[in-house]
């Protein structure tokens, strides 16, 4: 993407067109490649099919250009609204929305921009899996030195160029009103960066555009206005998760040399994911929270206990346990 500081808007590189395939269908969210090597929602969709749902009819996908924060994806939300209304009109039943990770912020943004009467008619509930409600500490590492997510063919520094072009990374910086003012996210020999130091952080990593991207996006969902529909908020806990990245003098062009850990799902900390508890009492519709002890961030979308819980919700059994221990499955 190319970010324009004057228009505060991103565009594709000149001569490049990017399309998101399969809106309304499930194939592009079930697997991330045509060879079906990188599975994502496949296990979940298949679980739903096994209990009577039909691909592309009663279970549908809403893939989006995840490079762009919601303020730059207006056409997507129109398609989303049209799809929900179309499904409601076809089946005469309100729709459940389900998101994973950043997708939950997209769902929240969508619901926050719908009238309550529309939500009361068309939306049965919102199932949120592993949402970074208070932002993601990992984003600071991604922006500083890059993060290849364990793909050995790509160096962190090389992928950093691409990661810095996406407005979704600054959007998901840890929220200012969630973290203590003295919490250090990035520690270097020269300076310790808290959320009060974002401007200096972007200057020091030679990425001033990031500051403007953050200013454009920081208020899109950070206030966590309640969605106004029944919510099932699920996330993993009990796994060490980095909340401080420690660098040596190679910062920002070398990887972190150490970490400080807190509780979480190995990617997001439980402080951020647990903020959905705030909605209890803030909206008329119920808010249910389940913590899955020992469940990693990506495993959330295909773990048997999560899928069974989701099935019960869809069958109308609203009440859910406050905690599920997935470690008990280990033989």
List active site positions. 101, 265, 297
Kindly tell me the burial class for residue 94, based on how many C-beta atoms sit within 10 Å of its own C-beta (0-12, 13-18, 19 or more): middle
Cβ-Cβ contacts under 8 Å for 44 (sequence gap 6 or more): 301, 302, 307, 310
Q: Is 36 helix (H, G, I), strand (E, B) or coil?
A: coil
CA gap 199, 251 in Å, rounded: 16
Residue pair 184/140 in contact by the 8 Å Cβ criterion: no
For residue 166 the two structure tokens come to: 């996406």
CA distances from 127 to 26, 103, 124, 187, 306 (A): 17, 11, 10, 36, 11
Nearest residue to 261 (alpha-carbon basis) of 283, 288, 240, 246: 240
CA dihedral 150, 156, 162, 163 (to 10 degrees): 70
CA gap 148, 154 in Å, rounded: 6
By DSSP bridging, strand 239-246 and strand 231-237 are: unpaired
């Amino acid at each position: 993407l190319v970010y324009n500081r004057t228009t505060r808007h991103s565009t594709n590189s000149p001569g490049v067109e990017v399309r998101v395939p399969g809106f309304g269908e499930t194939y592009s969210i079930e697997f991330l490649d045509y060879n079906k090597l990188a599975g994502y929602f496949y296990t979940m969709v298949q679980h739903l099919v096994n209990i009577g749902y039909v691909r592309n009819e009663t279970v549908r996908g809403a893939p989006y250009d995840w490079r762009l924060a919601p303020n730059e994806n207006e056409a997507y939300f129109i398609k989303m609204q049209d799809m929900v209304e179309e499904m409601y009109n076809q089946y005469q039943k309100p729709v459940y929305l389900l998101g994973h990770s950043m997708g939950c912020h997209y769902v929240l943004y969508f619901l926050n921009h719908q009238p309550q009467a529309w939500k009361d008619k068309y939306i049965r509930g919102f199932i949120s899996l592993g949402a970074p409600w208070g932002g993601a500490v990992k984003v600071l590492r991604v922006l500083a030195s890059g993060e290849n997510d364990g793909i050995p063919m790509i160096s962190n520094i090389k992928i950093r160029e691409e990661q810095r072009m996406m407005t979704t990374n600054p959007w998901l910086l840890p929220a200012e009103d969630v973290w203590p003012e003295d919490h250090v996210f990035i520690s270097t020999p020269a300076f310790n960066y808290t959320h009060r130091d974002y401007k200096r952080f972007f200057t020091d990593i030679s990425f001033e555009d990031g500051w403007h991207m953050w200013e454009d996006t920081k208020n899109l969902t950070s206030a966590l206005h309640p969605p106004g529909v029944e919510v099932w908020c699920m996330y993993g806990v009990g796994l060490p998760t980095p909340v401080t990245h420690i660098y040596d003098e190679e910062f920002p062009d070398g990887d972190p040399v150490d970490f400080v850990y807190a509780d979480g799902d190995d990617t997001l900390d439980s402080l951020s994911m647990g903020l959905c508890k705030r909605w209890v009492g803030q909206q008329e519709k119920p808010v249910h929270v389940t913590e899955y002890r020992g469940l990693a961030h990506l495993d959330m979308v295909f773990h048997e206990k999560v899928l069974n819980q989701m099935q019960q919700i869809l069958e109308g059994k609203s009440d859910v346990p406050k905690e599920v221990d997935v470690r008990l499955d280990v033989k």
